[in-house]
Chains A and B, each alone.
Chain A
Amino acid sequence: MSDPMIDEWYPVALFSKLDAAGRDTLLMGHPIHVARTGSERVAATEADGRSLPVRIRYGHVWTSLGEPKKELFDIPEADEPGRRLVDVGVVRVRCSPLRAVENFLDIAHFPFVHTDILGAEPHTEVEKYDVEIREKEDEVWATKVKFFQPQAAKSAAGGITTDYMYRVPAPTCSVLYKTCPPRPGEWDVITLFVQPLTEELCDVWPWMALYDDEADMTDLIHFQQMIFLQDRSILENQIPRRLPLDPGMEIPTRADMTSVAYRRWLKRHNYTYGAQLVAQ
């Protein structure tokens, strides 16, 4: 495979649930096996026995079929004391891994897909926000994003205008930063780590680093799972399954600016696994 996406890191297992028997899974069409080999050690191998590089980070096991030129991206908030780190658990989705990321970057759908949770009519307007590709880190960032929400997080009471930032540090990963009601000035971190099984099938591993001393872990997990299952019903019914890099059959508007920047970033890097090149 000549796609440069082969040299990236991808999540392939939840570290806490991985045992010595391990799990068989698929990465970009290739069967691989991942297993725990020690209390803090894991191994990943391809079907022919070839050893793959591994990392354990953010509650998950990461590997690559190629030769990553960079270490796995940094999320400094993961090491801050007082944060609760939440492994949400895997959800399989019949869509391109790139579609899963694009949906995670979108806020205009909150009043319609996550009605009365992340947004509600008539508060549907998406105000202008900033988007850039940060050259040094080579990441997409959307900042000064805001949206009015009736119940933004398990820790919020009543409705507030939530501030957001979105970040794409790798082709199938996205990090969302949202205002944290119990700690003004700090950001809650919610991530989507997406494992590409094939170009039209992915395993989504959501993960969070939150300041929330009150909610039960189970409630935090259920909340995120519920949100994501609502998104899945969208993702599995979007045409085409792959992410179009040519919007000839679509009508992106200013509200879709983060998605446009993400697609430009993919195009620039020639990251096309899961992408549709010609609009149909």
Chain B
Amino acid sequence: MFPNNWCKWTPVALSADVPAGTVIPAWTPTGDVALWRSQSGQLSASSDRCPHRGMRLSHGFVRGEALACIYHGWSYGRDGACLRIPAHPDLQPPASINTRNQITTEREGIVWVVNEAQDEPPPSFDGYWPLRSMTFQASIAALEAAAGAKADISGLIRCTLGGETAFLLAVTKGEAETIVHVLADKNASLAQRIAISQAGEQLRRDAESADALEGAN
């Protein structure tokens, strides 16, 4: 699972899930983030809490190279610095008013976030690209049991879904909540991708009902 001793980065989303000009909520062990992509295509991971009055920035809107809060329109640049306070339009806000961003990067279709600068980039997965992200209301143990496989030393879970080899990047959000990014061979056909995706949903059902049984015992 991620992050781990070898990889401090957390996989938070698929690049395809954050098109230019959009913002989505995401989760890291440091806290909730508002993950957004500017009009020019650059990603930022802002803390999901506007410093003005605590509104979730993931409910905001991207305009050009800035993210604006939906409550009062305070807007922030890619580095997190406040650019504008609409109620006081002539004020030049100080950089000390900011959204405390984490560091973000994308590699082979996956968006990764980390709190402190790292020497190593996030890993590459040798021709396996992300297919979709899911949230399992289940522990990572239940996920591994349902998948019939445990995470290897690099954190990756290798299993078979829909008759194909697939890799799972798992992020433990809580005792019974795991974020799972499913990776498939990047040359897989549409039919294969659909099969893997549907098997992934079955995996989720299996893991969630196993955990529910556990809880009932």
Contact with A along B42-83 (1 / 0, CB 8 A): 000000010111111001000000001111110000000000
- With A112-B70, A112-B73 as given contacts, are A238 and B55 in contact (CB-CB < 8 Å)? yes
Contact with B along A116-159 (1 / 0, CB 8 A): 00000110111000000000000000000000000000000000
A247 to chain B, nearest CB (A): 9
The reply to whether B86 and A108 contact each other, CB–CB distance below 8 Å, is yes
Is the beta-carbon distance between A111 and B86 smaller than 8 angstroms? yes
Does A239 interact with chain B (Cβ within 8 Å)? yes
- Contact (Cβ within 8 A) B59 A111: no
B interface, how many residues as a size bin? 20 to 34
Whether B72 lies near A240 (C-beta < 8 A) is no
A239 touches B97 (CB 8 A): no
Is A237 interfacial (CB-CB < 8 Å)? Answer: yes
Given A251-B52, A251-B97, A112–B87 Cβ distance below 8 Å?
Answer: no
Question: Interface digits, A235-264 against B, CB 8 Å rule (1 contact, 0 not)?
Answer: 001111000100001111111100000000
B interface, over-half SS: loop
The reply on B151 being an interface residue by CB < 8 A is: no
- Asked whether A255 lies within 8 Å of B53 as measured between CB atoms, the reply is no
CA distance in complex: A169, B87 (Å): 27
Q: For the A-B complex with A108-B87, A112-B68, A237-B55 known, give 15 more contacts whose Cβ atoms are closer than 8 Å.
A: A113-B70, A121-B86, A124-B87, A125-B86, A125-B87, A125-B88, A126-B88, A233-B59, A234-B55, A239-B54, A249-B51, A250-B51, A252-B53, A253-B87, A253-B88
What 10 pairs across the A-B complex have the smallest Cβ distances?
A124-B86, A255-B87, A126-B87, A108-B87, A239-B54, A237-B56, A112-B73, A108-B72, A239-B49, A238-B54
Residues of A bordering B, CB below 8 Å: 108-109, 111-113, 121-122, 124-126, 233-234, 237-240, 244, 249-256
- Chain B positions within 8 Å of A, measured between CB atoms, are 49, 51-56, 59, 68-73, 85-89, 97
Q: Could you list 5 A-B pairs, sorted by A, with CB under 8 Å?
A: A109-B72, A121-B86, A234-B55, A244-B54, A251-B52
